[in-house]
Chain A
Amino acid sequence: MMDAIGSQRALNYDVKLLWEYPQADAPAVDFEEPSSFKNRTGQSVRETIGLAQLKEPTVVRHFVRLSTKNYGIDNGFFPLGSCTMKHNPRLNEKTARMAGFAHIHPEQPVETVQGALALMYDLQKTLGEVTGLPAVSLAPAAGAHGELAGMMVIRRAHEAAGNTHKTVVLCPDSAHGTNPATAVTCGYTVRTIDTKGTGRLTVEAFKEALGDGKDVAGMMVTNPNTCGLFEREILEIVDLLHKAGGYFYCDGANFNALVGSIRPGDFGVDVMHLNLHKTFSTPHGGGGPGCGPICVTNELAAFLPVPHVVKQDDETYALERHRDTSLGRMKGFHGQFGMVVRAMTYILSHGADGLKQVSQDAVLSANYILSQLKSLYHVPYEGPCMHECLLTDKRQKEKGVTTLDIAKGLVEYGIHPMTVYFPLTASGAMLIEPTETESKEEIDRFIAIMKMFAQKVEAGDTDIFHEWPVSAPRRRLDEVKAAREPKLKYAK
């Protein structure tokens, strides 16, 4: 009797795994069996697979109930630093589903896909315009994939110039983990620039890492950096790097601080990737798909990946599938085209004036949060910040409350936590990125909660911090057990 009732109350659902429901006697998809069947595979016909079998109402309810256990930007404030969780317009979804975009094949004759090629060409041009780096490839599938493509551009450029002794890439200690991992995937070794707890690159620290520069192929730097600060000595650093024959790879994760206002090509960047799923509002989808186009100087254009969309003399568009100097192909077919459609929709919606307002509002909101919380939380590096601000738990930790506890407290209060424990250079980091699509009311609520937390800690009222969250679909999860006893699939 109790088993039949289960633990569901109001909107709090218990959701089984697909295999745990009573199984249906027939599938939900009702294709007709072929009238005759001959096996011409040369193989025996497969018997059991091990899939569940349910009817449509059960399947739909299963996934809808699961969705209610998730938090997205449509649910509320999501100030996840360096991730740019901005509003994802539904218009983007509508256009991406137009039959002329969704149901075309990448190997169709080019005369049947001129609209798709024109769209890609126009986005290449637009991204070149906003970055000041005119040669653009839409091929990379995600940010880290763009990093790899960008570093491969640099590698091929050095190879073409005979610079085989250039085997080292410089990365600051505050870099995203993808930067050093990418340099290694690209066959380079990494030398770390020690920012010595200053939160910024200095000419002095850079010179130390550069040495005589003979072995340096390039540097990978995020600007604004992972502490939310613009690298104010960047021009001098880039000058030294270029004189040593190295290229400046800029990680574009933080481009939302610059879009429409500032062009990386004008502060010395040679190669940069953009995350269309950050700055250009394509949805994160619970972890992808992303899209990571790369933008490079004209000097480096010859090394971009293939295929590449070109406009021909007769005004038609074509796919350049082979180029001797190209780094080659990065992905099957032509990249994450569906994301290209969404990004173009977003860019047209905002236009030049709207994009400029995007970066201004993003920077304003981050500085507003910083101004309201700096008296209660430790600020490791002086501002102003750009589109995100960095705090730490230094003051709260003394009373036994850590960044993790504060994050779980935000979960309890219905806000997605900020990025925690990154960058690694600031102990107990809390990186807060509000984005331009939050109202002042939402931001003020976040500030009020953060103030309340700080006051509670100050008053010694800390026990509850270790309990949070108590209202979420799950309490804190045992990650150690998950790693020690890996259970990665359903087993009867």
Chain B
Amino acid sequence: MRYLPLSDTNRQEMLQAIGVKSVKDLFKDVPAQAFVDELVNLPNQKSELEVERIMAGYANQNRAAGDGPFFLGAGCYNHHVPASVDYIIQRSEFLTAYTPYQPEIAQGTLQVIFEFQSMIAALTGQDIANASMYDGATSTTEAALMAQRVTRRRHIKLHGALHPDYKEVLESYMRNFGDVDIAEGVPTEQDACVIVQVPDFYGNIHTLESLRKQCDETGALLIIVVTEIVSLGLLPAPKIADVVCGEAQSIGNAMNYGGPHLGFFAAKEKYLRQLPGRLCGETVDADGKRGFVLTLNTREQHIRREKATSNICTNQGLCALAFTVHMALLGEEGFKRLARINHAKACELADALEKVKGVKLLNKTFFNELTIELPKPAQGIVEALVDENVIAGYAVANKLILAVTEMTTTADIEHLIQSLEAVL
């Protein structure tokens, strides 16, 4: 087998050195009933070429975003990733490294995390950011758990439309703690936090000053969720939040059928010691040279065990690297321009849709995603549009949520409009 370097001679030498006759003797503590003779439903080893053919067989049954017009968003976006990004993240030293627990030989990973934290803090207008989270949904739930720790309150308010997956994850976790109310509305003195997605699931952009005031009056934390991080290149920094968390897949990372993506978590400095996840900090080495280490890990499970701020053990290191490289390539001006392009495309889409008979644009405001109302259930329309080679959007009853990015061309929008007119 090509991944196993030991030869039979090696194996014999090693057994002899150990002083046993066969490998079986090393498994003597395992009860006999647990051994398998044969894994019946698994074939034997295959060559690289054979495996590649089988995997291509699976891949070729899927319709990729580049195969035609594509308008799905809903927390996962089809953006352009510069060639350098994938080249850098496949550098062996990044790809095959472990968590940087030995900082003398992990300064590459550590400095990248430090730069990632700096970028996220700048984008969100917050004081601090961690080394990343599993995804936007779990990051939002961790924010709510942190709010519960900070305020010593249980209940949670939602303001406006939160991504349904994010809400479901929040509900699953909170079920572990009995009577936690998760309800729509404004925060009261019983609530740990209010969670608001900007732009919301339907693409609307809320003004948050009054919500901030209600939080100040009641002591609830204001958690702002961002599922499309490119929006932060055009919208004002959400400085008024206590926590800004969400999904950063849009920069550097492919859609990957939903994962791996890149959760992020930023907050005000006063919550530093209650933060979930890893943090990287600057320090010096024995020669006084600048270096970086994982720090403040007395919050974490490997030190604090049952008293940890979270059970989380990993971050999304490689996805955070992809983000950091892509963001470095975009730079200050490039990122803002990318946001303007996305918004301009959405304006183009909005104008085109408003001319279609029977279609009503529901958004007064939007960034790169918007919702229309159709005269009939949207799911049927989405399915009919598949036959026109259009991936149309996310259906909710008679509503259809569509997203555009810099990948969307004017021809794509024209194709959508013609197909929509044909199936309506």
CA distance A437 to B89 in the complex (A): 23
CB pair B337–A115 under 8 Å, yes or no, is no
CB pair A349–B175 under 8 Å, yes or no, is no
Q: Does B411 contact A (CB under 8 A)?
A: no
Q: Does B92 contact A (CB under 8 A)?
A: yes
CB pair B39–A475 under 8 Å, yes or no, is no
Residues of chain B with a CB closer than 8 A to A436's CB: 3-4, 6
CB pair B94–A336 under 8 Å, yes or no, is no
Per-residue interface assignment for chain A, residues 159 to 184, with 1 indicating a CB less than 8 Å from any chain B CB and 0 otherwise: 00000000000000000111011111
Q: Does A8 contact B (CB under 8 A)?
A: no
Residues of chain B with a CB closer than 8 A to A211's CB: none
CA distance A474 to B100 in the complex (A): 13
Q: Does A243 contact B (CB under 8 A)?
A: no
* Nearest CB on B from A216, distance (A): 16
Q: Which of B3, B38, B285, B339 contacts A477 (CB 8 A)?
A: B285
CB pair A37–B138 under 8 Å, yes or no, is no
CA distance A115 to B172 in the complex (A): 29
CA distance A26 to B330 in the complex (A): 9
Q: Does A449 contact B (CB under 8 A)?
A: no
Contacts A113-B257, A267-B34 given: A52-B332 contact, CB under 8 Å?
yes
CA distance A29 to B334 in the complex (A): 6
Q: Does B282 contact A (CB under 8 A)?
A: yes
CB pair A477–B316 under 8 Å, yes or no, is no
Q: Which of B87, B306, B333, B341 contacts A184 (CB 8 A)?
A: B306
Q: Does A15 contact B (CB under 8 A)?
A: yes
* Nearest CB on A from B112, distance (A): 6
Residue of A26, A42, A83 with highest tally of chain B CB at under 10 A:
A42
Contacts A49-B123, A181-B301, A487-B282 given: A28-B334 contact, CB under 8 Å?
yes
Residues of chain A with a CB closer than 8 A to B329's CB: 27-29, 56, 59
CB pair B29–A229 under 8 Å, yes or no, is yes
Residues of chain A with a CB closer than 8 A to B95's CB: 72, 74, 88, 93, 283, 285
CA distance A35 to B319 in the complex (A): 33
Residues of chain A with a CB closer than 8 A to B93's CB: 67-72, 74-75
Task: Using CB atoms, name the residue of chain A closest to B116.
Answer: A489
Residues of chain A with a CB closer than 8 A to B131's CB: 287
CB pair B51–A91 under 8 Å, yes or no, is yes
Query: Considering the complex, which residues of chain A in the window 442-492 have a beta carbon less than 8 Å from any beta carbon of chain B?
Result: 469, 472-479, 481-483, 486-490
Q: Which of B78, B173, B307, B336 contacts A105 (CB 8 A)?
A: B78
Residues of chain B with a CB closer than 8 A to A85's CB: 96, 98
CB pair B258–A31 under 8 Å, yes or no, is no
CB pair B176–A40 under 8 Å, yes or no, is no
CB pair A126–B58 under 8 Å, yes or no, is no
CA distance A66 to B90 in the complex (A): 13
Q: Does A332 contact B (CB under 8 A)?
A: yes
CB pair A104–B65 under 8 Å, yes or no, is yes
CB pair A67–B108 under 8 Å, yes or no, is yes
Contacts A51-B331, A108-B391, A109-B382 given: A287-B98 contact, CB under 8 Å?
yes
Q: Does B76 contact A (CB under 8 A)?
A: yes
* Nearest CB on A from B144, distance (A): 13
Contacts A99-B59, A287-B131, A486-B281 given: A72-B5 contact, CB under 8 Å?
no
Q: Does B247 contact A (CB under 8 A)?
A: yes
Q: How many A-B residue pairs lie within 8 Å, measured between CB atoms?
A: 692
Q: Does B163 contact A (CB under 8 A)?
A: yes
Task: Using CB atoms, name the residue of chain B closest to A155.
Answer: B176
Residues of chain B with a CB closer than 8 A to A72's CB: 92-98
* Nearest CB on B from A454, distance (A): 17
CB pair A98–B138 under 8 Å, yes or no, is no
Task: Using CB atoms, name the residue of chain A closest to B70.
Answer: A105
- Interface-facing stretch out of A202-210, A294-302, A353-361, A393-401: A353-361
Task: Using CB atoms, name the residue of chain A closest to B103.
Answer: A477
CB pair A474–B332 under 8 Å, yes or no, is no
Q: Does B210 contact A (CB under 8 A)?
A: no
CA distance A98 to B313 in the complex (A): 29
Task: Using CB atoms, name the residue of chain A closest to B326.
Answer: A29
Per-residue interface assignment for chain B, residues 262 to 298, with 1 indicating a CB less than 8 Å from any chain A CB and 0 otherwise: 0000000000100000111111111101011101101
Contacts A63-B88, A361-B4 given: A332-B166 contact, CB under 8 Å?
yes
CA distance A237 to B45 in the complex (A): 36
* Nearest CB on A from B289, distance (A): 6
CB pair B108–A185 under 8 Å, yes or no, is no
Residues of chain B with a CB closer than 8 A to A333's CB: 75-76, 135, 165, 257-259, 261
Residues of chain B with a CB closer than 8 A to A364's CB: 6, 11, 14-15, 18, 23, 26
CA distance A294 to B237 in the complex (A): 39
Residues of chain A with a CB closer than 8 A to B51's CB: 91, 95, 345, 348-349
Q: Which of B303, B315, B318, B345 contacts A177 (CB 8 A)?
A: B303
Residue of B95, B105, B232, B261 with highest tally of chain A CB at under 10 A:
B105
CB pair B319–A36 under 8 Å, yes or no, is no
Task: Using CB atoms, name the residue of chain B closest to A112.
Answer: B63
* Nearest CB on A from B360, distance (A): 16
Residues of chain B with a CB closer than 8 A to A260's CB: 36, 39
CB pair B117–A416 under 8 Å, yes or no, is no
Q: Does A384 contact B (CB under 8 A)?
A: yes
Q: Does B183 contact A (CB under 8 A)?
A: no
Per-residue interface assignment for chain A, residues 1 to 38, with 1 indicating a CB less than 8 Å from any chain B CB and 0 otherwise: 00000000000000101110000101111011111111
Residues of chain A with a CB closer than 8 A to B317's CB: 284-289
Task: Using CB atoms, name the residue of chain A closest to B109.
Answer: A286
CA distance A384 to B23 in the complex (A): 11
List 10 interface pairs A-B (beta carbons < 8 Å), by A numbering.
A40-B350, A46-B232, A72-B93, A105-B257, A178-B301, A181-B311, A284-B96, A333-B165, A350-B1, A482-B295
Q: 4 extra interchain contacts, Cβ-Cβ under 8 A, other than A17-B114, A184-B311, A287-B278? A: A261-B35, A285-B97, A286-B108, A360-B23
Which 3 A-B pairs give the minimum distances between C-beta atoms? Answer: A333-B258, A27-B334, A115-B61
